[in-house]
Homo-oligomer: A and B are copies of this chain.
Amino acid sequence: MNAPLPAHLLPDMAKRETPAALVDALKSRFSDRCSTALVVREQHGRDESSFAAPPPAAVVFAESTLEVADAVKLAAQYNVPVIPFGVGTSLEGHLLAIQGGISIDVSRMNKVLSINAEDLTVTVQPGVTRKQLNEEIKSTGLFFPIDPGADATLGGMSATRASGTNAVRYGTMRENVLALQVVTASGEVIRTGTRAKKSSAGYDLTRLMVGSEGTLGVITEVTVKLYPLPEAISAAICSFPSIEAAVRTTIEVIQLGVPIARVELIDHNTVRMVNKHSKLTLREEPMLLMEFHGTPGSVKEQAELVQELASNHGGNAFEWASTPEERTRLWTARHNAYFAAIQSRPGCRAISTDTCVPISRLADCLLESVAEVDASGIPYFLVGHVGDGNFHFGYLINPDDPAERAAAEVLNHKLVSRALALEGTCTGEHGVGLHKMDFLVTEAGDGAVNMMRTIKRALDPKNIMNPGKIFSI
């Protein structure tokens, strides 16, 4: 059972009526692509977060930008909330219809519109997922590196400013989205940015939309950067005597400027869960899972240097996954850590944390937090994009035990406070959604959050675009 929304969100929950006239108008415009079936609405009224809210009143399956614009215009006319929906992998309650309204499902807008291989760019509809994109561009010798684990849509990844395992080398959606097409709160279609690699042409609306979590408009096209597939790729795992040893190694790798493509921490708990789930026999110790991209010479150089740093901290010899199949198996295991963890405690829910700190603070932040969770007795997994200073605890709670839920919230609260005191952020890549609204105020301050509110009010005066997320109005 998911939890009711916390009390502080209740003022935003004042459910706005979705008039029958709007649903009629949507049905008339979209016929059977506007659904009011409970099962469809419920599927669109939840995500991977642990909150519960009533489902949206209707779901529109849009197939074009024009259709999105029409649906938004109708919603605006009736002053009803609009919640964009991709494939539902949000972890922070972004998709919950906490003020009622309609869900606009863009998963059928899943065409790759133009591949400009010579420019290393591609333009896609928002429902294209990252795996689909990489499949469709395979023949070009290019790839799209952003990999948040889940096979999320490019629209959703833009909306939450997602990143993941490759960000340490290739950046996040912030660095990789070049241009967008957006349906605004009034149903107007605008374009932000161009395919030029850089620009000083006015306000950076692209980056204002990236990370705006559906609260400023519906993203209907995304142009992102691509990268040449590296000539050589090698993946290696290295076990360490302690989390601290793994983290100290990572810090040195980053401080020396090694262009490592991936460096993921997996703690011994999680290795155990992953072994069981993916039938692997990884050494059940804290480990780093690394990937090196480059020419054969530079990959060798990087790996030798990192191996040396790891040895200085008691790391074991690298175990290499040199074939694509072995690499895929390792990364699949990493990506399945979340599900492996969930299965380790039947019936549990995971409450995920997402702090990110400057790299020199990583050891302090992580080790104190590990000690705290260990002391609490709550089972957990721990994985981290540690090269970026970003890591996730997943507290595996019994959702029917309010005491466990409360204990997890206390742990999260302590963790976030620690990260903020160390000049970090409450969310490295998941977004604020419903869960981190208070933390955002602590992190950014009233002044900055009020500036966000002012922008929101100006661009969405009726407060219909995914209202009640990021901050209360």
**Are B455 and A459 in contact (CB-based, < 8 A)?**
yes
With contacts A360-B119, A425-B196, A458-B455 taken as known, whether A471 is within 8 angstroms of B430 at the C-beta atoms is no
Which residue from B163, B295, B426 sits with its C-beta under 8 Å from A198?
Answer: B163
A191 in the interface (beta carbon within 8 A): yes
A424 in the interface (beta carbon within 8 A): yes
Residues of B within 8 A of A212 (CB): 203
One of A20-28, A47-55, A444-452 at the interface = A444-452
Identify the closest chain B residue to A203 (Cβ).
B452
- Give CA–CA (A471, B356) in the complex, Å: 37
Interface residues on A, range: 35 or more
With contacts A171-B175, A174-B204 taken as known, whether A448 is within 8 angstroms of B211 at the C-beta atoms is no
15 contacts between A and B (CB under 8 A): A120-B254, A121-B358, A161-B199, A174-B198, A189-B447, A190-B451, A194-B424, A194-B443, A198-B390, A200-B354, A200-B427, A208-B455, A295-B301, A297-B301, A455-B458
- Give CA–CA (A459, B195) in the complex, Å: 29
Residues of B within 8 A of A430 (CB): 200
A346 in the interface (beta carbon within 8 A): no
- Give CA–CA (A361, B120) in the complex, Å: 12
The smallest C-beta distance from A248 to any residue of chain B, in angstroms, reads: 12
- Give CA–CA (A207, B390) in the complex, Å: 21
**Are B211 and A208 in contact (CB-based, < 8 A)?**
no
A192 in the interface (beta carbon within 8 A): yes
**Are A200 and B451 in contact (CB-based, < 8 A)?**
no
Interface residues of A in 341-399 (CB under 8 A from B): 354, 356-361, 388-390
Identify the closest chain B residue to A424 (Cβ).
B196
With contacts A191-B447, A388-B197, A427-B199 taken as known, whether A358 is within 8 angstroms of B207 at the C-beta atoms is no
Interface residues of A in 55-76 (CB under 8 A from B): none
Identify the closest chain B residue to A446 (Cβ).
B190
**Are A200 and B452 in contact (CB-based, < 8 A)?**
no
Identify the closest chain B residue to A162 (Cβ).
B200
A339 in the interface (beta carbon within 8 A): no
Identify the closest chain B residue to A355 (Cβ).
B196
A320 in the interface (beta carbon within 8 A): no
Residues of B within 8 A of A389 (CB): 196-197
The smallest C-beta distance from A421 to any residue of chain B, in angstroms, reads: 11
Which residue from B191, B200, B203 sits with its C-beta under 8 Å from A428?
Answer: B200
Which residue from B204, B301, B358, B448 sits with its C-beta under 8 Å from A191?
Answer: B448
The smallest C-beta distance from A175 to any residue of chain B, in angstroms, reads: 6
The smallest C-beta distance from A435 to any residue of chain B, in angstroms, reads: 12
Interface residues of A in 157-192 (CB under 8 A from B): 160-163, 167, 171-172, 174-175, 184, 188-192
Residues of B within 8 A of A447 (CB): 184, 188-191
A202 in the interface (beta carbon within 8 A): yes
A436 in the interface (beta carbon within 8 A): yes
16 more CB-based (< 8 A) A-B contacts, given A119-B361, A190-B448, A295-B301: A116-B360, A118-B358, A118-B359, A160-B200, A161-B198, A161-B200, A192-B444, A192-B448, A196-B358, A198-B388, A203-B452, A204-B207, A204-B210, A230-B257, A297-B301, A454-B458
A256 in the interface (beta carbon within 8 A): yes
Q: Which 5 A-B pairs have the closest CB atoms?
A: A458-B458, A118-B360, A190-B447, A228-B257, A207-B207
